[in-house]
Amino acid sequence: MKTNIFPAIKLTIVTLVFFFVVYPAVVWAIAQLAPGNGQGEAVTAHGKKYYANIGQKFTEDRYFNSRPSAVEYNAAGSGGSNKGPSNPEYLTLVQARIDTFLVHNPGVDKKDIPVELVTASGSGLDPDISPKAAWVQVKRIAAVRKVSEDQIKQIIDSNTEKPLIGLFGPEKVNVLSLNLALEKL
């Protein structure tokens, strides 16, 4: 019995120390190298604090629309809808988002709407959209703000993040950064 119990107790103690002390310390140390020291990318604008790495809800016509969220942008409850692409309820929701987008962007064809503007991400907190999703909203924003489309396009170009070392990941645009840049116009 001693030959089994003592090694099991030792293994339990070693495992507890590793997973409750060593591993969290390593993760914390790596987080200190990230922007915001692991606390998120905080942005203060107009006396309000935002997080650039968490999706925000922007639905007004004068702003770039964010990607829809299945969790209403609640960072404490990250998650997707878990409804498959053939689920009738999900298809109805996506069609409603398409219809809403077309009402607010009358010059856009249904086939030109990027998928990320009508479907939620896996986490429900995606802060970025593709440059194509930003470009499709230019006419609406320029008309509402009474500025030239070229000014809006310049904002998109200056806020587009390229793939890491030109290879890893897609081009993307942070919606919060775009909308804060719009406010500076």
- DSSP string of 40-85? --EEEETTEEEETTS-----STTSPPPPP-TTTT-GGG-------T
How much is the pTM? 0.76
Assess contact for 86 and 110: CB atoms under 8 A: no
Structural domain count, the chain: 1
In a domain, 74, yes or no: yes
In a domain, 149, yes or no: yes
In a domain, 14, yes or no: no
Assess contact for 179 and 156: CB atoms under 8 A: no
Assess contact for 185 and 69: CB atoms under 8 A: no
Per-residue pLDDT of 77-127, as tens digits, reads: 777 777 888 889 989 999 999 999 999 998 899 999 999 999 888 777 888
Per-residue pLDDT of 130-153, as tens digits, reads: 999 999 999 999 999 999 999 999
In a domain, 39, yes or no: no
CA distance 30 to 24: 10
In a domain, 15, yes or no: no
- Full domain range(s) for residue 178: 53-183
Largest CA distance in the chain: 82
In a domain, 16, yes or no: no
In a domain, 100, yes or no: yes
168: β partners: 164
Taken in order 172, 175, 180, 181, is the CA torsion positive or negative? Answer: positive
In a domain, 20, yes or no: no
